[in-house]
Structure formats: C-alpha cells, structure tokens
Structure 1
Amino acid sequence: MLIVAALSALPLLSLLTIVWGRGGAVHGLVYAGCFLSSVALVAAGLDHLGTQTGGAPTLVLPFGLPWLHAHFRVDNLSALFLLIVNVPAAAASAFAVGYSAHLAERRRVTPFYPLFLFAMNAVLVGDDAFVFLVAWEFMSLTSWLMVLADHRRDENRKAAMVYLSMAVFGTFCLLPAFGLLAGGGGDYTFASMRLHSLGPVAGPLVVLLVLMGAGSKAGLVPLHAWLPLAHPAAPSHVSALMSGVMTKVALYGLIRVLFDLHGHVGWQWGAAMMVVGGVSAVMGVLYAVMQDDLKTLLAYSTVENVGIVVIGLGLAIAFKDDGEKSLAALALVAGLYHALNHAVIKSLLFLGAGAVITATGERSLGALGGLLKRMPWTGAAFLVGAAAISALPPLNGFVSEWLVLQSLFKGPVVPHWAMKFGVPVVGAFLALAAALAATCFVRAYGIAFLGRPRSAAAAEAGDVSAGMRWTLVALAALCVGLGAIPVTVTDALSVVVQPLLGTSFAVSSDLGWPFLSPVSNTRGSYSGTVLVMVGLALFGIAIALVHRMGNNRMRAADAWDCGTPEDNPATQYTGQSFAQPLRRSIAATVFQARETVVMPQPGDDSPARHSLAMTDPIWNGLYLRLAWLINLIADQVNRLQFLTVRRYLLMMFCTLVFLLLVVAVRQQQ
C-alpha cells in the first residue's frame, strides 16, 4: 500500500538524521526523501479520491489500548486532506533542500521535520480516537520542538511556551469530546461513534469541546494567541507547513466530528461558527495590517483565512439542519475550496518570506525595499501569492471567497431570526476582511519589493538558489491553475461532500464547463478559465502592438519626486506610515493605538522622535487575566504543602465523609 510505504519512510528519514546528522549532505538527502514521500502521498490521495471504503477500516494493526487495536482508513475526506497537506509539504521539502543550509540550528530542525509530516498524515488516516489523539499530540510535540530550535532567543522561548500551553489545552478539550462520542460502551472506533446517538446535553457539549480543541489549533479568535508567536519563530519551511497545513489538519478534525461522527448539529452552532469565523477574519487581517515583521504579518493573515473557512462550515451546518442540503453542499465546498487554496497560497508566501530572509537576513519591512529588481523570480512569485490571498481574479483565492459569498447570499432562507440578521453582518465582516487583506498585501509587497532599498542588506541582496526559485514558481503556477479551472476543482470536492451531506454540489447544467453557476444559470456565474484566456489574449495583443508600433530605443527617466528631489531612501513610505490611516481610524479603538511625537524647540538640533504603542485587547483582557487567576490559585494550593499533621488528618477525614455522602446519594438514586 502506497500510503503505508510513504508513511513508514518518514520515521526512517528522521533516524537517518539522528545517526549521520553531522554531515551537511544528510540534511539535503532527508528533505529530498520527504519530498518523495509527500509526492507518493499526493498520488495516494488522488487515487483514493472518489472511492468509497464504507465504514470499515482498511487497515488494523495490533497496537494501541489493551482492548483496542489501531484502526486506519482513507475515505474521500481524508483523501482530500492528504492532498491539502502533502502538496505544500512536497514544496516545502524541495525548498528546504537549499534553504536548510542557511539555518544556524538545522540539527535541531531536520530530525523532527519528517516526524512532523508523519504525524499530520497519521491524523488524517486514523480511524479511532486513540490513533487520532496520539498523532495529534505528536504533531504538536514535533512542531513545538522546531519552534524551539533557536532556543537562545527570548521571543522563541516565549513562543514555544505559549504554543505548548495552547496545544495541551486543545488536547484536553478533544479527550472528553471523543469520550462523549464513544459513550459508555468504550468503543473508540469512528465506525462505532457514528452509530452512537448523543443525548441533549452530550451533543452540544461535544460541539463546544471540538470547537475549542480544534479551533485553538486552527487559530480561531480568541484562541489564536499562540499562532503569531510560534509561526514566525520556526524556520520558514516549517512556518509554511504550520500556517498553511497544520491549521488545515485542525479544520479536518473539526469537519470529521461535526459532519461525520456527530449525529446532529443544530443550526444555532452553525450561526455561532459563522460569527466566530467573521470576527476571526476581521481581527486577523486587522492585526496583520499593523505588523512590521513579515512573518508575523503572514501568521495573522492565517487567522483571517481560517475564519473564512469556518464561515463556510457554519453555513453548511445551518443549511443542513434546515434541510437545505444543496445549499449546505455549496457552503461546504466553498469552505473546503478555501482550505485548499489557503494551504497553497500561504505556503508560497511563507517560503517567499524565507527566500527574502535568506537573501537579506531581515524580516522587518522597514529594512527591505527594492527587492524585485534584485530578486525577480522571488518577487514575481510573491506577487502572485499576494494577489491570490487578496482575492483578486482569476487567481484561486478569489474563487473560494466568491463561493463563500454566494453561500452567504442564500443564508436568509433559513427561517430563524439569528440567521436572517446574522448573515448580513457576517457578509459585511467578510467584505471588510477582503478589503483589508488587499490593503495589507499591497503594503507588504510594495514596501518589501518596490521602491529603493532601505538597508545595506536589501541593497546587496541577490536571488536564492534555482531549486528554491523553482519551488516558488511551481506554487505560483498552482495558484493560477486552481483559479483557472474552478469547475474541475468543485467537481472533485463534490465527491467529498456527497457522503457527508447526502447530496452533491450542483453546477448549472445549462451553462456547463467551464462556467461555475452554483445558485442560478442566469446570475452569479463565473468562469476563471474564460477570464484567464481573455487576459492572455489581451496580453498577447498588447505585446504585439508594442513590438509593431514601438521601437528598440531605451528611454530612461527619473521617477516623479513630487517636485522635491531627495536621494535618501528614508524619505520613502514605510510600513508604519502606510498603515497610519487605518491605525488612527480603527486601531485607536480596537488596539488602543497611541502615537507620541516629540518635536525639539526652535534652535535645538536634537532629532524629533515618534513613538507608537499598541495593546492586544485579547492578550491583555483574556490571557493575562487567566494567568493571574492561575497564579492566584497556585499560590493558595501551594499553602497545602505547609500544614500541620492535625490539619492533614482533618482534610483526610473531610474527604472521606464527602465520598461516603456521594456513595449514599447514588445508592438512593
């Protein structure tokens, strides 16, 4: 079996690094092996997509809990996520062959990288709660070790601590959720959970626990605190997988429970998920617009896009509960499409950021500039990713967000006041997030790649190695391809949706390929294929006209300088100045942004000073208060270590009386 062989190879690659890790060639060899394993898993996912294995596991191994073997199965949902995980994993592995040589602590990264890939794929193919949770924890542990690789930096140690705390919190939420799904029988296989009906208390509790457990790993607001710390701390090829892929594994867990294992999820939970997704989308992109660190900006952007996916999932749950299965299929396809698109786009952008860091050693936008001339391949690929994540047609980010909006337009058909009032609000959130995302990436790309270099490192930069460049180009081409053939992609996603909802995603048969008309054949249709063809035709016509009517003389002129010649790169727009209007209009309230300007008196030749201070309302209002409460409780509990013998005996007596009372009450019942 191809999946078994590919997964078995990954731990062996890790062992190879541990044994012969001192040689530089071994690291490249390990990443090449990870690339081949990921390609094999992509082939296996494509092979299984569209096939049904029923409810029975395809592989049972004799290890695990004493009364439970390890069960593995690949159905359409896990086959799709094998593609979502391993296409970016193959790209990140190919990129890392050249990139890893520049890492200061690569011996702390390479051994855990294959294990990280192994764990993420094991989550997808596990068919019982034990395998799922063990793989889930292993995924968290291996990624935590890579976040902590550069452990000498204080911010990396803080990021690792916060990440580990949130990972433990997520698992402690998922453990009781699977316990409730299994019921009193103790059968933790997914096949048994599908047959078990949940009571009026257990059902909503499972949904809440899974939303907190998987939502914390996915980065939903307000459980996102670890994400902008951990993703930038890790090496860029690991950041690409954590941000673009690991968050999708978390969404896989959410979909697996809510659409497959859980018997019935009420529309109220769908409405709540829509609101959480909308808030996550807006807050995530607002955070991103204010960042000066390129990798932190990309990490916050992940919060936004995970929110968009959750909007689609929430809509699907609401439509499904109301009996609108065709609309539920539309919303679920939209969410899955955006998960696929974001995995590709964010991997491209993080790897592009890694190329920038390799060439310049800088992550701050204020130290970059003019890189497009010095790194044309990286700059062109990063431009495609920035346009795609800004939802510009004909790229893939536009198609999935357009489908989510099409789903939202049909939201008021659900006859509940919360949906009728909530859907327009969530739609406004999504539109605002899309506009802010375009602003964010115009700022990021313009400041980093255009203009003049703002530092000597940027002025001396050169493009990265050919292998790294071609990886970026391949991902950029995939962004174009996924946007150019949306009907083909939605047809494949329809195969995944059908077993979960009992119906397929309907594309208007009157228009046919390549027109996507999910709502009506008379309105709301889109064809990325036609748009790409028209764009290429116009581009060709423009080139032909220029060559026929132009000449070969080179004409050069200075850029417009607003009438004030100045050869100082410091006079250019910076990331902070670009974000100033939004900071003053929105962040002054949301983030309590405060600007202080100190101007010297006339005749004083000391420089003027501008300082900016912002606070994170969620970190200060939630996490710091929780930390204070935990420390307070710990201080009180700590006093129990210093009691007298008589008080210890009194505690034992009171505990015994309490337990006897519990037994007596249960016997009365």
Structure 2
Amino acid sequence: MLLILALMLAGCCALMLPAALRLWAVLRLAAAALMAGFAVLGALALLAPEAEPLALPLGPPWAAALVGLDAVSAWFLAPLGALGCFSALLLRPATRTELLAFPPLLLGLVLAAVAADGFTLVLGLLLAAVAAWAALPERRAARLMLGFALTGGLCLMAGFALMSAGAGSLGFAALRASPPEGWMAAAVLVLALLGAAALGGLAPLHGWVAGALSAAPAQVAPLLAGALPVLALLAALRLVLELSGPAQPSWWGLAPLLLGGFAVLIGGFRALVEDGLRGVLGGAVTAGLGLFALGLGLALLFRGSDMDVPAALALAGALLAGAHLLLGVGLLALALSVVQMQAGPVAGARLDALGGLAHNMPLAAGAALVAALSIAALPPFAGFAALWLLTQALLAAWRTQQALYQFAALGTLIMLGLGMGLLAMAMVRLWGMVFLGRPRSPRVAGAEDAPGPARAALLFPALALLGLGALPPLAMALMQGAVEQLLGGAAPASILGLAAGDAGARYLVLPVLAVMAGLMALLWWVARRRAPKGLAEAPLWQGGFIAPPPHMPFGDPSTQVSAEGFAAPVLAVLGGPLGGYEARVLAAPPGSVAAARFESRWRDPFTRALVRLTSLRHQASLWAERGRLPAPRAALRVGFLALLALLALLVIAERP
C-alpha cells in the first residue's frame, strides 16, 4: 500500500507536464483522478492502517524523507483526497502560473498529510503555501500569506529541531520514544501553537485569511480554506499530543483551549460582519479551526489530569471538527466559487450584489445550504456532532478539581456559545442574501447553474457531508485507531449515536430526526391553517415579494436587506470591543433641509496591527535610503532565495 502511495506521489509530479503545456482539461481530469485515488487509499488505510513508514529516495542529508499511513494520517487523507478531487473539477482555462501552481499545491498537502517525520511535514506545508502564493493574482494578499506561512513553517521546524536534540532523528517513531522535558518541552508547546496559528490562520494570527481567500482562484480557494489550516493544526497535534508523550502537565491544555474559544468567537463575528463572500468564508475557517484547537486543548488538559474518558471524548470532537472543516467549509468554498464563476467576478464578490440565485442555480443553492447548516452546527449535520462532543467534554471540566481549569473551561464555554450563535446568524445571512430575495443585477438574473464537472464537485461532497452527519457512530468507529494512537485509549462509542461515557449523555440521530420532522410538519400545518384567505403566493426565492413593475424589473434594491444592515445590531453591541466599530449620525445644520447621514466604520484590530508593522517596515526603508540600515526589501529577497537554496541542497544532498 505504501509503495502505491509513493507511485502516486510521483504521479502528482507528472501533472506538471500538462500544466506547463496549458492543457487545462488534461490537468483537470488527471488531478481529479489522482486525488480520488488518495481518497480511496485513505479510506482503505482507515480499515487497516500501516505501522511501518516508507523511506523515499529524497530528503535531508541526515536521513531519508519518511511517509506513512498510520491511523491519524488516514483520517485526514481520505477527506483531503476528496476535497482535492472536487477542487480539481473546478479547474478552468487560466494563466500558466496558476496551472503550474496547482500540482505542487496538491503535492504539498498530500505530503503533509502522510508525513512520518518532521522535515517532510514542514516541507509539505511550505510547498503548499508557496504554491498557493504563486497562484494568487493579488500580490499584496499573496505576500501577506507567504509571510505568515514562512513564519509558521520556521516555528514548526524549530519545534521539531528541539525535539530531535534528544532523539537524534526527526522521525516520529524516534521522537515518540524520547519526549522533551523541562524548558525544552515548554518551548516546543509555544513554537507548535505559534507555527500552527500563523500557518493555518488561527486567531489572533488570522489577518491573512480573508484577503488570500478573496484573491484565490476557484480551484485554489477550497484547498486554502479547508486543507491548509487543518494540516497546519495537525502538525501542532502531532507535536504536543502524540510526540511529547503522556507525562506533560495539565496546564499545557490552557493555551490551545482559550485560543480555540477565542478563535470561535472572532470567527463567528467576522463571518457576520463581512460583506464579501470570501470574507464570510474566512470567518467560517477561523471558527472551524478554533473548534479543532479547543478539542486539542481539552485533550491535553484531561490527559494531564488522568481523565481518560473525557480526554478521548475531546480528541474525538477535535478529529471530527477537523474532518468537518475539510468537508463542510470546503463544500461552502466550492459552492461560493461556482457562484462567483456563474454570477460574474464583480457581482460575486459582495453579498449586496447577489440575490435570487436559488431559482437559477438550485444545485449550488442546495450544496451551499447543506454546508451552511452544517457549519452552523444544526442537528443532524456533522458540525453538530463535533460541537456536541466538544461541549460534553467542556462540561466534564468541573471534575478536574482545579479552579483554574474550571474557570478556563467556563470562559471557553461562554465564548463557544456566543461564537457559534454568531456563526449561525452569519450562515443565515449568507444563504438568504445570496440565494433568496430578488436578483440585484441583470448578470445575476441570468446566471446558470454549475456546468458539467462542477455539478459533481457540488453533489458528491454534499452527500458525503450528509452521510457524515447521519452516521456519527460510523465516524467514531473509523477514528478509534487515531484516538488510540494519540492517547492510548478508545473514545466512548454507541451503536445508535454518540455517547459521553457509560453513564453520560447521548446524542441519538434517528430520534432527533424524527422529532425535527414532526415539528416541521406541525409548523407547516399550523401556518397553513392560520393563514388568512386570499393571500397572494410568491416563490420562495423571492422572499415573499410580488412581481416587480415593468419599469423596475429587479425591484427596488432599498426594499431588500443589506449586508451591513443585517449585522448592524451585532456591530452595535460587540463591534466596539471586538472590532473597533464606530458609528455616528451627522445631522444637517440648522436651517438646512438636507437629510441626516449615518456613517459607520469597522476596522479589524488585528489588521490594524499588521498595518502598523507595515508602517515600521516603511520607516525602515526610509532609514535605509539615508544609509542607516540595509534595504529591507533586498534583504528579504536575498534571505528568501538563500532559504530556498538551502532547502534544495538539503533535499538533493547525498546522505551518509
């Protein structure tokens, strides 16, 4: 099986030939078939994971690069292969740079998922980040993303280097046998969290996510939204949970626990107040990554307190949140990419420019609805299953008998509830404004549904997401190997649903489905019975509007809700402490008949901090012109080229 994996990695490199010749149709089919093979390989490895890694004929001078399909790699490889396959189906005629960047992006993500040593893991993440940087046409957003990615990659590499000081190797088996101790262990924790946050976009280091997603091509956006953040946090999961050993203290879980809750809150807020499609998607990415980090922190906290069942419950929630981030947020990115392709790049960039697409694009609307409901964590979708596991683990924190841990869990629970509520409102706003109401332009009114292969790219992940939510016991059974590998114990299981231990709460999917179906039927019956006679009926996608007059075929835009107006109440309450929101009413001067004006401004404090760093760089450039400092731009270019040359030498150098 691992030999087949090595051959498929070589086939990923062979995709460069059709990309260089701009044979985009050949590249699309070949990349889709290759990533589908990875998905099948990951699914087979979930049933029978391989323990022994495979040494590739490449790597640094001190050892060969190792790849393997253990239980953890298989859990992430299966949805990654599916997302890569569906993303490849969206490939369209593009520039040579975009086509050439797509195969290395896939190769880097697969390498990071199946890596069995620290060098290969960081190399795969950096390769994917550099390929995404090359594919972004907006150079400012690309440079910002690359800066965060290089910072995160260097932090992760430093963490692996510290651990290898005692093990003598970067292989996971050797690192697992000699875990770090003392100050070195604390340094590994800090470097792992900092690297994963910068490379994956975990708050507060999420300033690059919205800009990079807004500039990403259709085939790159799902991978940049779902795959790269998950694999970056997978590196932190490997470092602090699997390779650092079970003897680490409980306080290790406080930082990822609080960071995860804060990321869910910030992600939900950003998704609700952003007025662009990809901005809303960026908020969903930050919130989903926060759920993953929250579960990691709880697993560390419970493992240090010798609470095996809550630790396994929290880790199962983290793994399910990671898989849901790949499939759920990836499906939303696919649907929004299809909307932008069909409704036009200008109109598709803002929520206020769309509307009424449910009539012309029913498949895209259905896929986006499934993804939005799952991201909003409504039962019986996969997002709710992950949230239920994490909430049950948080409620078990009172058993730690440490006041600090109990208050940390309580604060995280508050941030989790508020953040998920804001995220649910954001998904309602997104789907309602994009697919309901009236079209706001002729281009949107004439948009057609997903063409050809893009239909499969929306239909199959939607079915997979529905299956993952309807069959959580199957998902729990498939992840048992990963939980045992990371913690040494199995997660609580139930045949009909999810269980929080032998005497704990249970989430039974079929009874929940029956109750929800009965309530919806009762609501429909009451609405029909109590509706007065003689009312005019209008299609669902028009939001109850009657037919527009002939002189105004798209209706009056002022009669439809705006993106800013929907988020105004939340901005008024939370905008100040979370986003630096300012609003004022400018009244007309005395004696004037002019109307009063309402002005508002929202500036992300984290983006403001990046602007300050940019101003410092500009000041350094001014000093360099006066001869006081070396030019920072030239120094960065030389340093980047030197780093690439060093990595190339390490890969091709002859090993002893």
| TM-score, normalised with respect to structure 2 | 0.87
Deviation at 1:623, TM superposition (A): 2.6
Aligned-partner residue type, residue 219 of structure 1: G
Out of 611-620 and 388-397, give the one that drifted further: 611-620
Deviation at 1:638, TM superposition (A): 7.8
Aligned-partner residue type, residue 207 of structure 2: A
1:394 aligns with 2:394: no
1:314-366 alpha-carbon deviations (Å, 9 max, x no partner): 00000011111121111000000011112111111111111111121122111
Deviation at 1:245, TM superposition (A): 1.1
Counterpart secondary structure, 2:600: strand
Deviation at 1:455, TM superposition (A): 2.0
Out of 200-209 and 231-240, give the one that drifted further: 231-240
1:627-662 alpha-carbon deviations (Å, 9 max, x no partner): 45556667668877799xxxxxxxxxxxxxxxxxxx
1:219 aligns with 2:201: yes
The unaligned stretches of length 5 or more in structure 1 are 151-155, 547-552, 644-669
In the alignment, what sits opposite 1:524? 505
Change (3 A) 1:479 1:318: same
Q: How is 1:269-308 mapped onto 2 (pairs within 5 angstroms)?
A: 269-308=252-291
CA distance in 2, matches of 1:538, 1:282: 30
Deviation at 1:487, TM superposition (A): 0.8
1:580-621 alpha-carbon deviations (Å, 9 max, x no partner): 11111110332222234456679988786543311111222x
Out of 372-381 and 430-439, give the one that drifted further: 372-381
CA contact (8 A) 2:86 2:456 kept: no
In the alignment, what sits opposite 2:640? none
In the alignment, what sits opposite 2:601? 613
In the alignment, what sits opposite 2:221? 239
1:154-188 alpha-carbon deviations (Å, 9 max, x no partner): xx221011111111111221222111110166422
Match of 2:43 among 40, 43, 46: 46
1:175 aligns with 2:170: no
Aligned-partner residue type, residue 105 of structure 2: F
Aligned-partner residue type, residue 4 of structure 1: A
In the alignment, what sits opposite 1:132? 121
Change (3 A) 1:502 1:108: same
Counterpart secondary structure, 1:526: strand
CA distance in 2, matches of 1:349, 1:561: 27
CA contact (8 A) 1:183 1:196 kept: no
CA distance in 2, matches of 1:607, 1:158: 39
Deviation at 1:371, TM superposition (A): 1.1
Counterpart secondary structure, 1:110: helix
1:623 aligns with 2:647: no
1:359 aligns with 2:342: yes
CA distance in 2, matches of 1:4, 1:64: 14
Counterpart secondary structure, 1:95: coil
Change (3 A) 1:444 1:543: closer
Change (3 A) 1:4 1:556: same
Match of 1:67 among 62, 75, 81: 62
Change (3 A) 1:608 1:471: farther
1:473 aligns with 2:425: no
In the alignment, what sits opposite 2:4? 2
Counterpart secondary structure, 1:201: helix
1:228-252 alpha-carbon deviations (Å, 9 max, x no partner): 1112210122111111111111121
CA distance in 2, matches of 1:400, 1:307: 12
Aligned-partner residue type, residue 527 of structure 1: L
Deviation at 1:107, TM superposition (A): 2.7
CA contact (8 A) 2:119 2:157 kept: no
CA distance in 2, matches of 1:583, 1:555: 36
Counterpart secondary structure, 1:236: coil
Out of 3-12 and 599-608, give the one that drifted further: 599-608
The RMSD of aligned alpha carbons is: 3.1
Deviation at 1:531, TM superposition (A): 3.5
In the alignment, what sits opposite 2:27? 30
In the alignment, what sits opposite 2:565? 577
Match of 1:383 among 355, 366, 369: 369
Deviation at 1:197, TM superposition (A): 3.7
Aligned-partner residue type, residue 143 of structure 2: M
Deviation at 1:5, TM superposition (A): 2.5
1:77 aligns with 2:72: yes
Aligned-partner residue type, residue 480 of structure 1: L
CA contact (8 A) 2:159 2:188 kept: yes
Aligned-partner residue type, residue 232 of structure 2: A
1:491-537 alpha-carbon deviations (Å, 9 max, x no partner): 11122111211110122xxxx5213222345x521122443466678
Aligned-partner residue type, residue 185 of structure 2: G
Deviation at 1:443, TM superposition (A): 0.8
In the alignment, what sits opposite 2:402? 416
Aligned-partner residue type, residue 225 of structure 1: G
In the alignment, what sits opposite 2:15? 13
1:123-162 alpha-carbon deviations (Å, 9 max, x no partner): 1222223222222221111111112xx2xxxxx2210111
Match of 1:595 among 555, 560, 583: 583
CA distance in 1, matches of 2:113, 2:342: 36
Relative contact order, higher structure (CA 8 A, sep 6+): 2
Change (3 A) 1:440 1:183: same
1:338 aligns with 2:321: yes
CA distance in 2, matches of 1:594, 1:73: 52
Out of 624-633 and 334-343, give the one that drifted further: 624-633
Deviation at 1:473, TM superposition (A): 2.0
CA distance in 2, matches of 1:378, 1:624: 37
Change (3 A) 1:49 1:375: same
CA distance in 1, matches of 2:591, 2:621: 57
Aligned-partner residue type, residue 62 of structure 2: W
1:251-276 alpha-carbon deviations (Å, 9 max, x no partner): 21111111221134322120121111
Deviation at 1:72, TM superposition (A): 2.0
1:230 aligns with 2:217: no
Deviation at 1:32, TM superposition (A): 1.2
Counterpart secondary structure, 1:299: helix
CA contact (8 A) 1:326 1:505 kept: yes
The unaligned stretches of length 5 or more in structure 2 are 528-533, 631-656
Q: How is 1:478-517 mapped onto 2 (pairs within 5 angstroms)?
A: 478-507=464-493, 512-517=494-499
Match of 2:430 among 420, 438, 444: 444
CA distance in 2, matches of 1:336, 1:369: 35
Aligned-partner residue type, residue 351 of structure 2: L
CA distance in 1, matches of 2:87, 2:309: 37
Change (3 A) 1:457 1:65: same
CA distance in 2, matches of 1:631, 1:543: 61
1:568-590 alpha-carbon deviations (Å, 9 max, x no partner): 13221111111111111110332
Q: How is 1:78-117 mapped onto 2 (pairs within 5 angstroms)?
A: 78-96=73-91, 100-101=92-93, 105-117=94-106
Change (3 A) 1:292 1:412: same
CA contact (8 A) 1:163 1:226 kept: yes
Change (3 A) 1:109 1:196: same
CA distance in 2, matches of 1:456, 1:321: 60
CA distance in 2, matches of 1:464, 1:50: 35
CA contact (8 A) 2:265 2:415 kept: yes
Select the structure of larger CA radius of gyration.
Answer: 1
Q: How is 1:189-268 mapped onto 2 (pairs within 5 angstroms)?
A: 189-263=171-245, 264-268=247-251
In the alignment, what sits opposite 2:649? none
Aligned-partner residue type, residue 248 of structure 2: V
CA distance in 2, matches of 1:625, 1:462: 44
Aligned-partner residue type, residue 301 of structure 1: A
Aligned residues: 611
Q: How is 1:415-434 mapped onto 2 (pairs within 5 angstroms)?
A: 415-434=401-420
Percent identity for Structure 1 against Structure 2: 27
CA distance in 1, matches of 2:262, 2:518: 40
